[in-house]
Every structure is written in structure tokens, then in C-alpha cells.
Amino acid sequence: MKKIQQKTETNPLSVLRQAIRGVTPDIAVKARRVGGSTHQVPIEIGSTQGKALAIRWLLGASRKRPGRNMVFKLSSELVDAAKGSGDAIRKKEETHRMAEANRAFAHFPTLGGMFLCGANDLITIFVAPECFSLCSYLLSGYTKKDVRSNEATTKYLLMGGASSSILVHGFSWLYGSSGGEIELQEIVNGLINTQMYNSPGISIALIFITVGIGFKLSPAPSHQWTPDVYEGVRDYECNRSIRRQKDHPKMIISWLLRTNQIRWFYFSIFLTCSYGTKVEKIEKYQSFTTTDEGFLEKLRISNPF
């Protein structure tokens, strides 16, 4: 206290309160150690936890200051924190930036899902799910110090990019066969007018679209990449958010498939859920087929009326 009073010539307790108030965050990061590396995930905290974390940051920043006298280093850090500078303040700002990025990753996919609900043309049907996919790629690599998270991001990006390329190639066949139409109803009218609805081009378009959506939805036989990716996503919230990406291709596939065309889908569900050696991998294999959303979606597709 004497050191603080000598530096500021004010009440040391007011400096201490101001420093703690300035460093206290609204959120914190939860450290996890996986595979010899530590990664952090933002979480919301209360005022008491925030003050405790602020004191911890102040002590940690004080130890990093040059010199041997801990009292002098701590008093200097408190004075800097009260003025709005120092390593503890920078730690708080970094934590808040991480949280804001995490919120953006959650809000942007929601916007894409809203656009997809009202999609009536090929461009929106393709772009809206990609809003979710791009954020999912970033969320899967959010714990950048974890080797498995980096592996998950690489595989997810490659498989997602490949599936998007296949999907847009199928859309291009559909666009060309309909005479250059992009709206769904106009595509149907164009295929009828040009007598192209039974042409090989439409079959090729449906094959590419089904394969592209299949990789995103990951039923058998396009489900082998899913456990490796989802196992590398260590945080539950990120894992759940990425798993929501399958809601978008479910909407598209329900538009394309009729009741008499759904038999292969049931068979792929059986293959997807029929084996597994690790609880975590079994959960990821069955993330669509055995969740409440999966059961409701299967019921809705098989009973459209």
C-alpha cells in the first residue's frame, strides 16, 4: 500500500478497487489440456468469479515484470491497471475479442439458416448453407494449439470444399438443362418446355446434387470422415454448433426426395448406426439419425402429408 501511495499520492484502496474493476472481465476462458497442449474456450462468468480472475491476472502480470521485488512489481501493475494499461488489461481485452469472435460464429450461421428457409433459387440454396459451413470450419479449429483440432479443421475444410464443388456442379447441370433458369419453379417450367426432364443431363444433375448433399449430411457411404472431424472438436458448444450444420442439407434433401425414393436413405441410416468401437465416435456417426431432429425429419419425409 505504501508503494502505491508513493506512486500515485492517492488512497491505495481506491487504486486497488479501480484496478480490479478495470481488469474484471464479463467472460472467462476455460483451459483444457489435450494431447500435451492447452487450449481455451470462452465461458460466461459471474461478478465474483470475474473479480477472482482479475486478481489472478494481476498477480500473473506482476510476476512477468522485470525486477526481484514482488511488492514493487505488484504495485506497479496495480497502478497501470487503474490507468487502463498493463498486461492484465491486455489479457482482458484479448479474452473479450475471443468471445466476440465466438458470438459472430454463432450468429452468422443463424442468418444463413434464415435465408435458406426462404430460398427459392439455386444461388440462395447454395450460398445459405455455405454461411454455416465456413463458420463451422473456423469453429472446428478454434482450439488451434490442439493437434487433433487442426487435423479436424483440415479434413473438414477439404471434405466440405469437395462436397460444395460437387453440389454446385450439379446445380450447373440443372441450370443448363432448364435453359438458364435459377428459380425452382422456373426450372420446372423450363424442363417441361424444353422436354429435358427425362434427359441424361437431369440424371447427372441429380446424382451430383445427391452426392454433394450426402457428404454434408454424412449418411452411409459418405460418413467415414465424420468421426475424425467431430472427435477433434473438443468443446461441447462448438461440437453442437457444427452438428447443426446437418439441418441445412436435411431441408434440401426433403425437397428433392419423394416417399418412393427414400428407401436407400433408410438403408444408409442402418449402415451408419450399425457399428462403432468408441462412444464418442458412435455419437458422431449417429448425430443425425438418432437425435430427436433426425427422427422427426425421417417421419416428416416419409409422411409428407
Each residue's pLDDT tens digit, 83-97 = 777 777 777 777 777
Say if residue 84 is in the same domain as residue 152.
no
Q: What CATH number did the domain enclosing 52 receive?
A: 1.10.455.10
Handedness of CA 243, 247, 248, 250 (dihedral sign): positive
> Would the pLDDT of 30 be above 80?
no
Please indicate, yes or no, if residue 106 is contained in any of the structural domains: no
Please indicate, yes or no, if residue 108 is contained in any of the structural domains: no
Say if residue 41 is in the same domain as residue 152.
no
What percentage of the chain carries pLDDT values higher than 70? Answer: 51
Rounded Cα gap, residues 272 and 136, in angstroms: 22
Which structural domain, as residue segments, surrounds residue 49?
A: 2-94
Please indicate, yes or no, if residue 160 is contained in any of the structural domains: yes
Q: How confident is the model at residue 34 (pLDDT cuts 50, 70, 90)?
A: very low
Cα 144 to chain centroid distance, Å, stands at 14
Q: How confident is the model at residue 305 (pLDDT cuts 50, 70, 90)?
A: very low
Say if residue 174 is in the same domain as residue 285.
yes
- Model pTM score: 0.56
User: Which pLDDT tens digit goes with each residue over 158-193?
Assistant: 888 888 899 899 989 888 888 888 888 888 888 888
Nine-digit cell string for 42: 470462452
